[in-house]
Structure 1
Amino acid sequence: MIAIINTGCANINSVRFAFERLHTQVDVITDAEQLRGYERAVLPGVGHAKVAMARLINGGWQEAIREYQRPLLGICLGMQLQCEHTAEGDTPCLGIIPGAVDELEVGNLSAPHMGWNTLKITKTHPLTKGVQDDDQVYFVHSFAHGCNQATLATSEYGQTFSAMVAQDNYAGMQFHPERSAKVGARLLQNFIDWRL
């Protein structure tokens, strides 16, 4: 069973419905003590990083997530919060994915980066199984993780950035798999199937 962590900073229902369409049972949890009872967990997030990180700390989630030994997936802001630091609000984050998050350098492109964009797979991993270069997923973000050893896939919008990351039992997707049609469903199924 999958726990969806609800800190009040995400549209929980769209993520829940996406897993239910894959015939996977999910619980939305609001107490950090509940996390240890689940085989895997999802940290979705939208909004401002400083506010979201404060909610994680105040709710006891920071310690619970750092101690979690099973697969945990961060989505959008949830991915960024797993990193070491974000420039959004000059905010220290969970530090479980190496690297920092900075504002996207979009040049003449409009901000935020919103809409469909292509993936480029850079590392073989159970989460990228069945996903091809140029498969498209749906993004909405203004900040992004730079590319480093944790990067599984990249995308480009003004600059190249990490679209997917993983380190140990933690992983993140900058895009919204729950809004990314068949490719998103494939990626969520990969997360369901991921064995450490």
Structure 2
Amino acid sequence: MLRAELVSARSRLGMRGIRLHELQAKLSPIFVIGGNRSGTSIVSLMLSQHADLEGLFQDDATSRTLPSGHSIGFAESTHVWPSLDPDDRERVQRGQWPLWSLPEYLQGTYRNRAKSDREKLRLAWDVERLRSSANQPLIKDQFNTLRIGLVTDVFPKARFVLVSRQFEDFARRGIRKWSEDHESGHLQLSLNSDEPRVAL
């Protein structure tokens, strides 16, 4: 069978017929990780311009605003492994942000290993099926900071770019963004909730 026919047959079959070690040998994805508002989006966009990389970004790296008015970043790859994130629709509808500050959210997001070889294959296939070229995938999702063990379990040849920011700059930018959201009416707080809104 010719290579093109094999690829076509595999895409029709989905995951069936794909071996984990084949995907692990073929893929050396780069994961951009870092804290919120640290500059991961701009670093991801710059790296994705490299001829050997393909940014697996959602909606062509455009900014999005959620129904609550909360603005989410661009160059996001959160669609690559959505099954790993706790279901947060109910919290979004109640306007309880930021989710990443809630201990139970972080606890549900942290993963150090795949549960089984089947899960490894599924997670590797999730990356493979989103590729549209032979270039290595570039993935930016801040929650992968909590999944480095899982990522290296699935992709032993994975590489990481850690983006960090001085604490003072991070705090200043966060306050400025919060003020902009508040002035534009996008900030929604649940003042009746027992959960903390801000942690210092």
| Same-fold status (TM-score > 0.5) | no
Q: Which has the larger radius of gyration?
A: 2
More contact order relative to length (CA 8 Å, sep ≥ 6): 2
More strand as a share of residues: 1
TM-score using structure 2 length: 0.30
Output the TM-score relative to the length of structure 1.
0.31
